[in-house]
Amino acid sequence: MTEPSRAAADDQGPAEPFLPPGAASAAVRQRVAVLGATGSIGTNTLDVIARHPERFEVVALSAHRQLDALLSLCERFRPRWAIIDAVHAPALAHGLRARGLPTVALSGAEALTEVAAHPDVDTVMAAIVGAAGLAPCIAAARAGKRLLLANKEALVVGGEVFLQAVRLGGARLLPIDSEHSAIFQALPEDPATWPQRVEKIVLTASGGPFRTRDPATLATVTPQQACAHPNWVMGRKISVDSATMMNKALEVIEARYLFGFAPQQIEVVIHPQSVIHSMVQYRDGSVVAQLGTPDMRVPIAYGLSWPERMASGAEPLDFGRLGALTFEAPDASRFPCLFLAWEALAAPAGTTAVLNAANEVAVEAFLQGRLRFDRIYVVNRGTLEQCLPSKPQDLADLLALDAQARACAAQWVRRLQDA
């Protein structure tokens, strides 16, 4: 493959899990592309990488619009490529030259996919938020990369199309969401034994900032309140998803595809302390849980070093100061978005992509002050009922379905604004 050009499913999931069994250690020095480098996952990834310079080399960094942050990262890590949107590409190129850096400035979706598949890239951290991260994930999968998946949409939107790329490319797919990483760590090493040994998997949820708030008052929630997560420091979109528990709905769908369990074998429980990151219940009644401080560097370090383990920089748990760990069932009146996950999984192929697109439109409208918080669910529900997908066969079908669902969701937003 040449250098990147300078820029201007099935709804029920796979028959088998798509996580790797035990394997040999990764190469001594991995060449890593961090897509979404200026977000919370990207910055935590780079923090872990910086602790192990003998093991990792950063060869590519991308950011959507965060020009100054991307330039600072380029000064620190000196990657071969830096990718930004077309509007900021000239300023990126100028800034790199002014700093005397050898990094090549690229822009656009094509550059992301070419870098993700480039032969000089061993590992791709897929941390671009939203459906925009789908194409580079598929490109990395087709090219057989070690793919650290922090982008929910690759599975929620991509479904069987994405997993087919994993199959054909022989990619090594490793989950970075703290919940899915926890499940991966708590399952038996050999996926062939899972159906005989595992009863169900349990995803934990913090409950976000409105866990105890009266549902009748959610209409007045502001973006600032919705983004004030009690445990995690995250971007605005995922913070809102946590407040509605739509993030957990997407994680249920993601878990279905990753692990191959039936939807009814996936449970969600609210655990406000965010110490137990998820659990596996076995046929004999035993429950294996993965615990740790709420720090994304733990699952990131595990993904980078798997099947080994290495220091992440996170503080270890102090059991003497831990206090009580509590659990509760999610309330459908407070978190109706969560329960859309099982409905979407039971619907025709492509429905999970519709749900994701609707939610992205609704959350953006809420953050812009055009939609009430409690109406995010109304947009999601209405779009699911109105936008009926045909089974997508390839990336073009997925993108067309995504556009169709977004248009439908935008109509719902306008309708609710006028109401």
Binding region: 38-41, 65, 151-153, 177-179, 206, 229, 235, 242, 247-248, 251
Residues with Cβ within 8 Å of 233's Cβ and at least 6 positions away in sequence, in order, are 40
Contact assessment for residue 279 and residue 202, using Cβ atoms and an 8 Å cutoff: yes
C-alpha dist (Å) from residue 3 to 59, 84, 110, 362: 13, 17, 12, 38
Residues with Cβ within 8 Å of 305's Cβ and at least 6 positions away in sequence, in order, are 26, 55
Least Cα distance to 45 among 224, 35, 1 occurs for 35
C-alpha dist (Å) from residue 240 to 149, 349, 376: 20, 26, 10
- Residue 143 dihedral angles phi and psi, to the nearest 5°: -85, 0
Q: State the alpha helices, DSSP H only, in 147-290.
A: 153-156, 159-169, 178-186, 194-197, 223-226, 236-244, 246-259
- Residue 17 dihedral angles phi and psi, to the nearest 5°: -65, 155
Task: Please tell me whether residue 202 adopts helix, strand or coil conformation.
Answer: strand
Q: Residue 306 carries which side chain, given as an amino acid letter?
A: W
Beta-bridge mates of residue 202? 267, 279
- Residue 261 dihedral angles phi and psi, to the nearest 5°: -80, 155
Would you state the torsion angle of the CA atoms of residues 70, 74, 80, 81, taken in this order, to the nearest 10 degrees?
Answer: 10
Annotated binding site for NADPH: 38-41, 65, 151, 153, 235
3-class secondary structure per residue, 304-364: HHCCCCCCCCCCCCCCCCCCCCCCECCCCCCCHHHHHHHHHHHCCCCHHHHHHHHHHHHHH
416 vs 131: CA distance, rounded Å: 24
Which token pair is 386?
Answer: 């109105």
Any idea what the Cα angle at residue 119 is, between residues 74 and 399, rounded to 5°?
85
Contact assessment for residue 242 and residue 232, using Cβ atoms and an 8 Å cutoff: yes
Annotated binding site for 1-deoxy-D-xylulose 5-phosphate: 152, 178-179, 206, 229, 242, 247-248, 251
Annotated binding site for Mn(2+): 177, 179, 251
